[in-house]
A = this chain, B = another copy of it.
């Protein structure tokens, strides 16, 4: 049984993590910490892996506290920068055998879609990205869609493909935002959560890769995958991105 403690256990994502760990046959829920709780509650006796789903302003300190206590961490909080990564690496260097895993996206379907887009893009004349989200989202296009556009553009460059064919004259507003040469469209629709569609086309054929995240629960298979991988003890140091634990 992997003993898991959850930091930010009373937030919306934290509660979802608590439920997922509780339901996993190979895991045991240990400590549930909130902002007011001391990290002294967490130690290597009661915790194999800590999971941090808090807020950008505190996550770095949480991770540093846990690393110093010799606890490996799985982090779903956003707001990470190269400077912050560097601080984590320094702390890890002083605590060999401890690992920190940070992922910008825990949805396995989204991570696979991005990867597949990169593999496939070199074989198609055309490529576009449509992302679809709930209408309360403030940024557009989504960070995931921007990442996928770069993934596609990189693959096309490597394969020596030129720019995508586009005979449009005028009316470019409807053609989306051009990210690294790839047209990206953002749909905002009540009822949706977070979705991405990659469209690849050749004469007579189309390949479509679509990732749907219907709710917060969509991140749990990825979170559990990360916990299980970190719990093997085989991964120390700083690891970024769920693709590290996917056999691609």
Residue ranges of A at the interface with B (Cβ–Cβ < 8 Å)? 107-110, 112-113, 116, 119-120, 122-128, 130-132, 135-141, 145, 164-178, 183-193, 199-221, 225, 246-248
Contact = CB atoms under 8 A, between A and B. Distances in A.
A199 B175 contact: no
A138 to B, nearest CB: 5
B108 A205 contact: yes
Q: Secondary structure at chain A's binding surface: helix, strand, loop or mixed?
A: mixed
A155 to B, nearest CB: 10
Given A112-B123, A128-B187, A175-B186, A167 B205 contact: no
A107 to B, nearest CB: 5
10 smallest beta-carbon distances between A and B, as pairs: A204-B217, A204-B218, A205-B218, A189-B201, A191-B201, A173-B177, A109-B207, A174-B177, A174-B186, A135-B165
Given A127-B189, A187-B199, A207-B212, 4 more contacts: A108-B202, A174-B177, A191-B218, A205-B218
A20 to B, nearest CB: 8
A8 B164 CA distance: 34
A135 to B, nearest CB: 4
Contact of A184 (B174, B205, B208): B174
A233 to B, nearest CB: 20
Contact of A185 (B116, B130, B139): B130
A217 B220 CA distance: 22
Given A119-B248, A174-B140, A208 B205 contact: no
Given A136-B167, A247-B122, A209 B212 contact: no
11 contacts: A108-B124, A125-B221, A140-B175, A176-B176, A191-B202, A191-B218, A203-B217, A203-B221, A204-B216, A204-B217, A214-B214
